[in-house]
Amino acid sequence: MTRLTLSHVIFLAGTTTGYTTLSDAALRQLSFPLSASSSSSTEFDPFTGSLLSPILVPRVPGTPGHAAVQAHFINYIKSNLSPDWVIEWHNSTSVTPATGDKLVPFQNLIIKREPPGITRDREHEVEWLTLAAHYDSLYRPEGFIGAVDSAVPCAILLWALKELDKAIGRKWEAWEDDGLEQAKGVQVVLFDGEEAWVQWSGEDSLYGSRALAEDWQNTKYQDGSSRLDTISLFVLLDLLGAVDPTVPSFFGKTHWAYQNMARVEQRLRDLGLLESTPKAGKFLHDTDRSNWNFGGYVEDDHVPFLRKGVDDILHIIPTPFPKVWHTMEDDAKNLDVGTVKDWAKIVTGFVGEWMDLEGHFEGVETGTEDEKGRYSEKDEL
């Protein structure tokens, strides 16, 4: 039987909103590894960083550079994440207008960690926070790097998993399967074949995401729902890492999630934990909307999912696009490292809140039950 202790009541209050604010101490802790006083602060160095620099090479599907980056991802995951993360490949092939009859391989990489106690008959209950970016680079101009497009977003997502790995583990160790908790999992999808080979069109673009959306629509669970139905929120990062990004809120349905991410950014700035000083004051500037007439959206890897009914989408892409977009200048030297690290902290904070990780960071004073209760109350207002 369920013990209804005080902490349980608070916990339930938290799950009705499904989103728990992180304390200042937790935000400080997750930012620390990227601060100057940490020995791992160089992971995002574009020239020497162990995480980012190996991705900053041409990665055209089917080429050796592409395979080397795949190997780097796997190596990073295996050396930095606990073995509870499952690595899944989703491979397809397609012709492209640039390559004639030859079939080009497109290989999406999925890294996921399932909540505990999920048996096959309960797979449909898992709500996957789905974090995505594409890792392929443009076919032409030859030698194109795609640092913001989208090497940096891939690095940010892998870093977020590494940062939150232990806290997720601690949260789930303490988990009691009383049927009351939402089964929240987290998965990262690194898409292949986002770029067009000749000219952007319905057929020449989004090769990997079109194939994956199709496959997940056809992957059915015992209750008849599909793998697409288990996506609770689809967060797509693109074109991040250049100085002064301004990212609008694209979808009314997920504007609340945008606002939550913007709140994480503002709190990190107020705590002095971010390095950048963007001209607009912040990256996520579009929080206070008087009109709910959300305009168009930018075509990207979320579109095949949107077309199949996945409409909880948060697209984190600056408009206007960075000046270097689709030019040879989109390389290591034109990244703004402060901006890169700041995005990593913002995204990680958002995921930590979504996954309700408050109280599960080691060495963070979590305060009394009363204080925790106040966080939950604040969330409900």
Enzyme catalytic residues:
194, 238
CA distance 148 to 238: 7
Tokens at 318, concatenated:
């600056």
Q: How far is the CB of 215 from ligand NAG (least distance, A)?
A: 13
Q: How far is the CB of 26 from ligand NAG (least distance, A)?
A: 36
Instruction: Give the burial string for 113-137 (b: 16+ CB within 10 Å, else e).
Output: bbbeeeeeebbbbbbbbbbbbbbbb
| φ/ψ (deg, to 5) at 178 | -105, 15
Tokens at 126, concatenated:
């898992």
CA distance 97 to 237: 27
- Give residue for tokens 């909307």: 289
CA distance 45 to 378: 38
Does residue 89 bind ligand NAG (CB under 6 A)?
yes
- 89 binds, options ligand NAG, Zn ion, none, Cβ within 5 to 8 A by partner type: ligand NAG
Residue nearest to Zn ion (CB): 149
- 91 binds, options Zn ion, ligand NAG, none, Cβ within 5 to 8 A by partner type: ligand NAG
**Closest to ligand NAG by CB, 89 or 256:** 89
- The answer to whether 168 and 113 have CB atoms below 8 angstroms apart is yes
| Selected binder of ligand NAG within 41, 50, 63, 70 (CB under 6 A) | 70
- 149 binds, options ligand NAG, Zn ion, none, Cβ within 5 to 8 A by partner type: Zn ion
Looking from the CA of 362 toward its CB, the CA atoms found within 13 Å total 8
Nearest to 336 by CA among 195, 235, 236, 239: 239
Does residue 149 bind Zn ion (CB under 5 A)?
yes
Q: How far is the CB of 190 from ligand NAG (least distance, A)?
A: 11
**Closest to ligand NAG by CB, 74 or 118:** 74
**Closest to Zn ion by CB, 322 or 359:** 322
DSSP-derived 3-state class of residue 101: coil
Does residue 103 bind ligand NAG (CB under 6 A)?
no
**Closest to ligand NAG by CB, 70 or 225:** 70
| Selected binder of ligand NAG within 82, 91, 201, 319 (CB under 6 A) | 91
CA distance 359 to 363: 10
Nearest to 212 by CA among 237, 239, 188, 233: 188
Does residue 300 bind Zn ion (CB under 5 A)?
no
**Binding segment for Zn ion among 88-96, 145-153, 249-257, 334-342 (CB under 5 A)?**
145-153
Contacts with Zn ion, residue ranges (CB under 5 A): 149
Contacts with ligand NAG, residue ranges (CB under 6 A): 70, 89, 91, 107
